[in-house]
Amino acid sequence: MSSKRGAEIIVEALEREGCEAMFGYVGGAILDIFDRLRESKIRFMMVRHEQGAAHMADGYARASGKAGVCIATSGPGATNLVTGLATAYMDSIPVIALTGQVPTALIGNDAFQEADIVGITRPITKQNYLVKDARDLAPTIKEAFYIATTGKPGPVVIDLPKNIQQQLVKDFKYPESVVIRGYKPVTRGNPKMVKKAAAMIQKAKRPVIYAGGGAITSDAHEELYELATKCKIPVTTTLMGLGAFPENHPLALEMLGMHGTAYANLAMAETDLIIGLGARFDDRITGKLDEFGRNAKVIHVDIDPSSISKNVSVDCPIVGDLCNVLHQINEYVEPGDTSEWLKQIDEWKRQYPMHYDRDDMPAGAIKPQYVIECINEVTKGNAIIVTEVGQHQMWAAQYIKSARPRHFLSSGGLGTMGFGFPAAIGAKVARPEETVIDIAGDGSFQMNVQELATAVNYNIPVVIAVVNNRYLGMVRQWQDLFYDRTYAGVDLEGGDVLGHGAKDHRYVPDFVKLAEAYGAVGMQVTKKEDCLPALESAIKMKKVVVLDFSCSREENVFPMVPAGAALSGMIMEPEGKKKKEEEAASKVGGEGMVLL
């Protein structure tokens, strides 16, 4: 045992809990911690905005399966982490956020750069702490890592007043274990419910496995594969679950929901048994609740008991770690007869494949779907794909054929623009041997574009593929389909009805020059035939590269389930403009929409 000051204890605790990398921004309230970081083995990367630090820690966690760590000073530094913490909370990602705080004697007195970060983050963290005695630092940090990474993972905030960082602790000894009263996540499923689930699976004629992010978090991909192939059950995944089951497998239905495949949504509409695995049954998946799985029994496995029957009534609830529960189910389950169901699935796949008009490629503009297909072709599944949020995100989910867990990272629950690029940096730090590509929209990329400095300064070679249509594309699509094409606040050239004179002064960023200004490589791609060579070149460079793909401006993402509609009420992509318009006018009375 020895005497140590609070800041020393904090750094030692981080090291003992396996922290190898930390992202953040310095400030007066955390100077003592930074003073001790100089002698630490922890790799610290200074970001250009604290939101970037939170997303980097998040991307690090998603790619590695370990807790990501970020740090910020008090007041505005801490509040700048909030969006990143909410993003991690919605997607159940383990992030540890250390925040500086004013001395304890000043808390509540409106001191300079004081903010109640514990109160602010309470709704968007799994747990948070305000440490008031340096003797509590090591137990708190150990507990925080345990809470963040066990049960249903999530972010944890540790608020650290300046005087606590300076306080001397005599006879310091690091705790060897964690005991938290009332916190004991259930890891194995109830045997009675497990046997019931196995019997329901064997009896079902039209079963569907619906796998969410929990299949990734619990590392249950092998057990999931065993269940699906043993019982010949088709598998559909959420955005968060992409990669849990190989999408090149004949049983793969790929993503379901608002922009899911037609065959996944039709299967969910006609199934007699939904096997929900680590998924939330959220509104983007279910569509109209009254119509969702209306003829189906429901099995739901989740480690969070509050998630079960929250949105959809469940016939067989199983609380437990998904990997363990699937192992239990696989011991009991016997295959049923799904042959006719698989024939129907194959027919839907032939009838409604993913499709876009490849012949309608205007000069000087590339179809965004083609850009994504090129990324898929170049990487062949051997890259970590990260996305921003918007149309490009959905095209990436549709056309990237994910085959491995922790290789498709995206903000699902919160839908955070600006997430992708810093998350890609965090993923590359966690997995330096992997190629990491951020598929970005021009709107999302600009939200945290300043992190180009971070990537360049620390030599973190990620490729940013900007699907550039000079619109906030997803909002524009909704305005196109549901607001009589009244574009307001979405034209990044400044030319829509809210531009107030901007039509005569249009300007969009030159991403090539912007990249070069930060010391990165910039390349503009305007021709279809240049897409593959540009991507291959960017990956081989092993540098930070921004690829600016000039894309057709008003392309829409299809299929699409309108908000509030049933999954079977998808809007399908047209096969040809003229033919589509004629059919749409006669069938649904709305230009450009053909309902399935």
Return the pLDDT at 57.
99
Look at phi and psi of residue 243 and say left if phi exceeds 0, alpha if psi is from -120 to 50, else beta.
left
For the question of residue 203 being annotated catalytic, the response is no
SS (H, E, C) 251-319: CEEEECCCCCCHHHHHHHHHCCEEEEECCCCCHHHHCCHHHCCCCCEEEEEECCHHHCCCCCCCCEEEE
d(CA 539, CA 133): 49
Closest CA to 575 of 554, 558, 552: 558
Question: Domain spans of the chain?
Answer: 2-172, 191-351, 368-470+508-550, 566-596
Please give the CATH superfamily to which domain 191-351 belongs.
TPP-binding domain (3.40.50.1220)
Return the pLDDT at 493.
86
Which secondary structure element, helix H or strand E, spans residue 63, and what is its range?
helix 50-64
**CATH code linked to domain 368-470+508-550:** 3.40.50.970
Contacts of residue 164, defined as CB under 8 A and 6 or more positions apart, other chains included, come to 6, 104, 131, 132, 133, 134, 137
For the question of residue 50 being annotated catalytic, the response is yes
For the question of residue 162 being annotated catalytic, the response is yes
The architecture of the domain spanning 2-172 is 3-Layer(aba) Sandwich (3.40)
Catalytic residue among 8, 50, 114, 223: 50
Return the pLDDT at 587.
38
Catalytic residue among 22, 417, 474, 570: 474
pTM of the complete model: 0.94
Return the pLDDT at 574.
54
For the question of residue 112 being annotated catalytic, the response is yes
d(CA 185, CA 38): 37
Q: For the chain, what is the largest distance between any 2 Cα atoms, rounded to a whole number of angstroms?
A: 82
Return the pLDDT at 580.
43
Pairing state between β 95-101 and 2-5: unpaired
Return the pLDDT at 498.
56
Q: How many beta carbons lie within 10 A of that of residue 342, not counting itself?
A: 15
d(CA 151, CA 161): 29
User: What angle do the packed helices 368-379 and 391-399 form, to 10 degrees?
Assistant: 40
User: Along the 596 residues of the chain, how does pLDDT read in single tens digits?
Assistant: 689 999 999 999 999 999 999 999 999 999 999 999 999 999 999 999 999 999 999 999 999 999 999 999 999 999 999 999 999 999 999 999 999 999 999 999 999 999 999 999 999 999 999 999 999 999 999 999 999 999 999 999 999 999 999 999 998 999 999 989 989 999 999 999 999 999 999 999 999 999 999 999 999 999 999 999 999 999 999 999 999 999 999 999 999 999 999 999 999 999 999 999 999 999 999 999 989 999 999 999 999 999 999 999 999 999 999 999 999 999 999 999 999 999 999 999 999 999 898 877 777 789 999 999 999 999 998 999 999 999 999 999 999 999 999 999 999 999 999 999 999 999 999 999 999 999 999 999 999 999 999 999 999 999 999 999 999 999 999 999 999 999 999 999 876 655 555 555 567 899 999 999 999 999 999 999 999 999 999 999 999 999 999 999 999 999 999 988 999 889 986 544 434 444 433 333 333 334 45
For the question of residue 113 being annotated catalytic, the response is yes
First to last CA, the chain: 71
CB 522 within 8 A of CB 546: yes
Catalytic residue among 142, 162, 428, 580: 162
For the chain, counts of helices (H) and of strands (E): 24, 22
Residue by residue, DSSP assigns 446-514 as: TTSGGGHHHHHHTT---EEEEEE-SB-HHHHHHHHHHSTT---S-BTTS-STTSSSGGGG-----HHHH
Do the two domains 2-172 and 368-470+508-550 of this chain adopt the same fold? Answer: yes
